Amino acid sequence: MNKKVVLIVGPTGSGKTEVGVELCHKIPSEIISADSRQVYKYLSIGTNKPIGRWENGEYIYKDVPYHLVDFLEPELCYDAGRFYNDASLLISKIWSKNKIPFIVGGTGLYINTITKGISVLPKRNEEIRNYLSQLVSLYGKNYLYTMLNSLDPQRAKEIHPNNIQRIIRSLEIILQTGKPFTQVVSENPKTKPYDTIIFGLYYDKKILFNRISERTKLMFQKGIIEETKQLLSQGVKETSPAFSSIGYRWVIKYIKKEISLEDAEKNFVKDTMEYIKRQMVWFKKDKNIEWINCENMSIVDIVNYIYEKIYKNLFLD
């Protein structure tokens, strides 16, 4: 068997998780999640986390080991560098069992660390991070984004103004090194990318909108409001990294009686669709992705198609 990493990517709501799990039932393999929101404990409904169980230190979903989900406290940060380190250890471990590592998810930055490598950057500096977090509390997210734009305009163009974790990380490195973030990245060597096979799942925009609308309704029916209330009552702050997950800010606004339930759902869907647009812009830059139009395919069709491709690539070449 050739040592490769198989990736299943695509926008939110495209069915990546179920396809990955069904493939694991056909091929000896384990899943490594590349979802920056599902790493958090307790946020299950709003992140659409696969609901499994912990068994002997492993998260198991439908009898498949599903790594890098449900392990991080809501107040803690998780970034691409840590993902790369964690995923690399897991890839080696999975290979040692003569299994195939499947990386499944839609966080493009995490996917890139595997397919293109990642620059080795300075370690976290908690003093600087606390200082920047205080600035957010005092002046808001836009203040830090404006600060980044003045210190490194090129980097600011690469980050959405609401992505406070990436903004803080960029400013942290700038303040540590005294250099623009983009210069530090260019001066530091990258890790070697893995040999990969990449499949992308997609649907027509209208179909995806309907899927997201239905999924969001289900989240509210399953209890995302109660989930959020419980976390807030346990002392998890609104500004915690976990609550930057799509949709939770609107749920919190509803809980605080600032908006109606209808507006909370509507804005949740709107934010998700905007995120999907950004995901597709990101993924379309990677010409190595084999895109699969899933509109007229059952999950069995999709799984069988990918299975045949993997089998030829890994076992017959």
Domain 126-187, what fold? Histone, subunit A (1.10.20)
**Alpha helix positions (H), the chain:** 16-26, 80-96, 108-115, 126-139, 141-151, 153-158, 164-177, 181-187, 205-222, 224-233, 248-255, 261-283, 299-311
Domain 5-118+191-316, what fold? Rossmann fold (3.40.50)
For the chain, residues classed under CATH 1.10.20.140 are 126-187
CA–CA gap between residue 23 and residue 302 (Å, rounded): 10
CA–CA gap between residue 143 and residue 41 (Å, rounded): 30
- Confidence check: pLDDT of 123 > 90: no
Mean pLDDT for 201-212 is 95
For the chain, residues classed under CATH 3.40.50.300 are 5-118+191-316
In the 8-state DSSP scheme, what is residue 268?
A: H
The confidence score (pLDDT) of residue 189 equals 83
pTM for the structure as a whole:
0.86
When pLDDT is cut at 50, 70 and 90, the band that residue 144 belongs to is: very high
188 vs 303 pLDDT, higher one: 303
Among candidate residues 161, 111, 90, the one with its CA nearest the CA of residue 10: 111
